Chains A and B, each alone.
Chain A
Amino acid sequence: MIQVGLLTEEQKELLIGQQFMLDVYFNPIQDNNNNWIISIEEIGQCNNQFAWVKELELITYEPKITIDEK
């Protein structure tokens, strides 16, 4: 099972558009339960002022089901 970091709404807003390492950007997304999450790669590689993400609660990733409407 894939683990991801659980974000609050406020934390999500803080991370949008921000880099977690040089030239690589956070991408908070919603899982199938509408939780805001980031990946463990972003957490593990973060080396700047957002290092607080390393303290995030880890939850099991449940991908959002998307339907590509034609």
Chain B
Amino acid sequence: MANSNGWGDGAANNTIGWGQGANNTIGWGKSHSLSWAGLTDIVGTSTPAPVSDTDAQAFLTNAVITDTTQRDAINTLVIGLKADSLWTKMLAVYPFVGGLEATCKFNLKNPVDTNLGHRLIFTGGWTFSNNGIQPNGINTYANTFLTPNTHWTLGNSSVSTYSRTNNSEAGNLWGTRGGSSFTLLYSVLRDGTTSNCYHNANSTTGISPNPTTSAVNLISSRINSLNQIQGVNATNQTNSSTELQLSTYNIYLSAQNSSGTTINFSSRQLAFAHIGYGLTQAECTLLYNRIQTFQTTLGRQV
């Protein structure tokens, strides 16, 4: 529309983002730097390029992980676990990336938001960061919805956690007990004093050599009912320990589910955990190497 000077109005700021022209008394537009020209309502969305492994991509999609370093680390981890024939031995893998409850809860092996998918339910005062999940040692635990008696058989089970905290607490890194002490599954890791591990038995197996720090990756595994394999970082050993019975209660992380009562809360920050079928000593080493590469890529290795 023409104005009093005979000049036409400039283009008004409009919904498609065209610039506003004339808006002063003589109908001239403001200088270019002050005009609306160049602003647009058309906003592009940035979708990260899919990673090569479809299982890794499914996790990244459901957990909404957009950081390139984290995406590449997850992809490399899954490819490595498959190359080492460990992937099929995993029931749950918790890589704890993304820095939020909504990202850390997902099971890499089956990244659906359900109890049956074994995504974690966090209870108590947790803190989440790009370094992992931080329990407070007072009232925190994570429910895996994995039950030894349901998901394992005698002589074929494994569990691990990657602790980033060195302290001397008696809190459990993982734990369950279903009534009888024969079903005990838990680990106590101390920094130089006695550390031990129960794996479906009521007799402890001391961790030897005793770690001088509790900031380690600890794996407990059974490939038969007579012995227990322990892996502390890349050091493995097999101890005589008769397996007796499987707990009917869900395995918790960072505490023990003692027949429905939560005890032995841990304050150690965790950067990885898994629950799966039995691993040999060689497989424990392979798993540790993959985990440590993963942590190093993310800059949170210990």
Interface residues of A (CB under 8 A from B): 2, 4, 21-29, 37-42, 45, 61, 63, 66, 68-70
Contacts and interface: CB of A to CB of B under 8 A. Distances in A.
A25 B101 contact: no
Interface string B178-197: 00010010000000000000
B181 A39 contact: no
B101 A24 contact: yes
A69 B256 CA distance: 13
Contacts of A38: 125, 139
A42 B124 contact: yes
Given A38-B125, A41-B127, A23 B138 contact: no
A5 B183 CA distance: 34
Given A42-B124, A42-B125, A45-B125, A23 B263 contact: no
Interface of B: 101-102, 105, 121-127, 136, 138-141, 181, 184, 202, 256, 258, 262-264
Contact of A68 (B124, B141, B264): B264
A49 B60 CA distance: 32
Nearest to B175: A68
Nearest to B122: A24
A18 to B, nearest CB: 11
A62 to B, nearest CB: 11
A69 B181 contact: yes
A41 B133 CA distance: 13
B125 A41 contact: yes
B181 A70 contact: yes
Contacts of A61: 138
A23 to B, nearest CB: 6
A40 to B, nearest CB: 7
